[in-house]
């Protein structure tokens, strides 16, 4: 019997797990039903970021009491990472692919998350990207630089694709993110002949529509998932945390590539989610990322929901 590269990776992972002699973590965090759709959030681990990466541009005196309310350090933040999986009986759709093994050691747990749901990469029929930052894209390839999801149709906004595939991006992006540009282009080139593009306000799959939330990256997309009168907004990094992004969405965040445009997109998105009483799933929101946005006198509040 021929041993494929993917078989080799699976066997290696199994050996490592047996050596550790520890049970498989339950990486699937939240589950909910939306009509005929089954939606799960999959925990990909967490990041460790210097506080300035997000908080640097903000008014520091006004920021401090917010951080104190959430028991957060100004020096370092550790946002979790949540991929979203949707199954409709025909399709298994994964939104973003996590960090893989090449970004931060605390992240890249996506394969364990799938295994917790008795799924393998070969079961995924569609991969949809919110954007192409490392923690959302670098899990695209396996350790042999082959596509991790070989049977999937890969989908990305055309504006986002054009930005990362532009050879000038590596020279024009902030110097601290040069590796982001190099890594994105190297990975996206592998699926260049098999990618499907979409634009704003398109129904990219049945019941799933793209919503432009540019700013975090030049082509960042959120996705409205709807069944009848019920809906969920997959916001990616358009709403990047559960504290300042909600309480002061108009503040510029250092994590956004175009901070001004991103702040406008975040404010618009929160207003719609709160007004329409939609559920939302955020890639970096806590405990699986599922919740709602509640309007307050001077901002919004993240209301966490545990639907599992």
**DSSP per-residue string spanning the chain:** -PPPHHHHHHHHHHHHHHHHT-PPP--EEEEEEETTEEEEEEEEEE--EEHHHHHTTS-HHHHHHHHHHTT--SSEE--EEEEEEEE-SS-EEEE----TTSS-TTB--HHHHHHHTT--GGG--EEE-S--SHHHHGGGB-TTSSBSSTTPEEEEEHHHHHHHH-TTHHHHS-GGGHHHHHHHHHHHHHTGGGEEEE-TT-EEETTEEEEE-TTSSTT-EEEEEEETTEEEEEEETSS--SSHHHH-TTS--TT-SSHHHHHHHHHHHHHHHHHTT-EEEETTSSTTSEEEEEE-SSSEEEEE----
In a domain, 279, yes or no: yes
In a domain, 23, yes or no: no
Q: In this predicted structure, what is the pLDDT of residue 86?
A: 98
Q: In this predicted structure, what is the pLDDT of residue 194?
A: 86
Q: Could you tell me the pTM of the whole model?
A: 0.91
| Averaged pLDDT for residues 60-69 | 98
Q: What percent of the chain has pLDDT over 70?
A: 90
**Domains of the chain: total:** 1
Q: In this predicted structure, what is the pLDDT of residue 307?
A: 58
Residue numbers of the domain that contains 102: 30-304
In a domain, 2, yes or no: no
In a domain, 14, yes or no: no
pLDDT over 90 (residue 84):
yes
In a domain, 13, yes or no: no
Q: What percent of the chain has pLDDT over 90?
A: 87
In a domain, 19, yes or no: no
In a domain, 109, yes or no: yes
In a domain, 5, yes or no: no
Read off the CATH number of the domain in which 196 is found: 3.60.15.10
């Amino acid at each position: 019997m021929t041993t494929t590269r993917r078989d080799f990776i699976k066997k290696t992972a199994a050996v490592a797990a047996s050596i550790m002699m520890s049970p498989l973590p339950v990486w699937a965090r939240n589950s909910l039903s939306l009509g005929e759709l089954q939606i799960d959030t999959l925990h990909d681990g967490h990041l460790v970021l210097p506080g300035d990466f997000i908080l640097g541009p903000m008014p520091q005196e006004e920021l401090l009491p917010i951080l104190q309310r959430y028991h957060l350090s100004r020096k370092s933040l550790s946002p979790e990472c949540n991929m979203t999986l949707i199954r409709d009986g025909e399709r298994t759709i994964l939104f973003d692919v996590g960090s893989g093994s090449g970004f931060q050691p605390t992240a890249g747990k996506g394969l364990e998350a799938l295994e917790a749901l008795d799924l393998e990469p070969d079961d995924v029929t569609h991969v949809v990207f919110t954007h192409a930052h490392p923690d959302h894209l670098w899990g695209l390839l396996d350790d042999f630089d082959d596509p991790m999801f070989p049977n999937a149709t890969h989908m990305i906004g055309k504006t986002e694709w054009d930005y990362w595939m532009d050879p000038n991006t590596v020279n024009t992006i902030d110097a601290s993110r040069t590796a982001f540009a190099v890594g994105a282009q190297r990975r996206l080139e592998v699926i260049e002949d098999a990618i499907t593009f979409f634009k704003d306000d398109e129904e990219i799959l049945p019941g799933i529509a793209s919503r432009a939330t540019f700013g975090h990256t030049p082509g960042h997309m959120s996705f409205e998932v709807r069944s009848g009168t019920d809906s969920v907004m997959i916001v990616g990094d358009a709403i990047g945390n559960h504290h300042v992004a909600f309480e002061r969405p108009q503040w510029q965040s250092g994590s956004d590539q175009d901070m001004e445009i991103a702040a406008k997109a975040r404010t618009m998105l929160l207003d719609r989610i709160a007004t329409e009483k939609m559920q939302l799933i955020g890639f970096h929101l806590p405990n699986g990322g599922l919740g709602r946005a509640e309007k307050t006198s001077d901002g919004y509040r993240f209301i966490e929901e545990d639907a599992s």
